[in-house]
């Protein structure tokens, strides 16, 4: 996952949110689903398993951080 929220780091990387771009094997993709209760930079936090615009889901993340 590229940029994310530069003011919030998770595992040393900017936190991913709904609307951020996602890397996949096909064309550019974006995150379309996230937490209903946790906001990062005013946007829902993205988590492993959340959906992307092309029908995929986030498969990698920081295993030591749990977001409800």
Average pLDDT over residues 27-54: 95
Give the span between the Cα atoms of 29 and 8, in whole angstroms. Answer: 22
Specify the residue for token string 């936190």. 15
- Two tokens, residue 11: 């595992």
pTM, two decimals, is: 0.88
Q: Where are the domains of the chain?
A: 1-60
Q: Is the pLDDT of residue 9 over 90?
A: yes
Q: Is the pLDDT of residue 13 over 70?
A: yes
Q: What is the CATH number of domain 1-60?
A: 2.60.200.60
Residue 1: what pLDDT?
52
- Two tokens, residue 63: 């295993």
- The SS3 call for residue 36 is coil
Percent of the chain with pLDDT over 90: 82
State the chain's mean pLDDT as an integer: 92
Reference 14, options 48, 52, 57, 46; nearest CA is 46
Task: Count CB atoms within 10 A of the CB of residue 22.
Answer: 21
């Amino acid at each position: 996952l590229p940029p994310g929220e530069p003011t919030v780091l998770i595992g040393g990387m900017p936190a991913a949110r709904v609307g951020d771009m996602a890397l996949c094997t096909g064309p550019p993709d974006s995150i379309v689903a996230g937490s209903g209760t946790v906001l990062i930079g005013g946007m829902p936090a993205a988590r492993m398993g959340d959906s992307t615009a092309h029908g995929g889901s986030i498969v990698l993340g920081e295993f030591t951080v749990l977001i409800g």
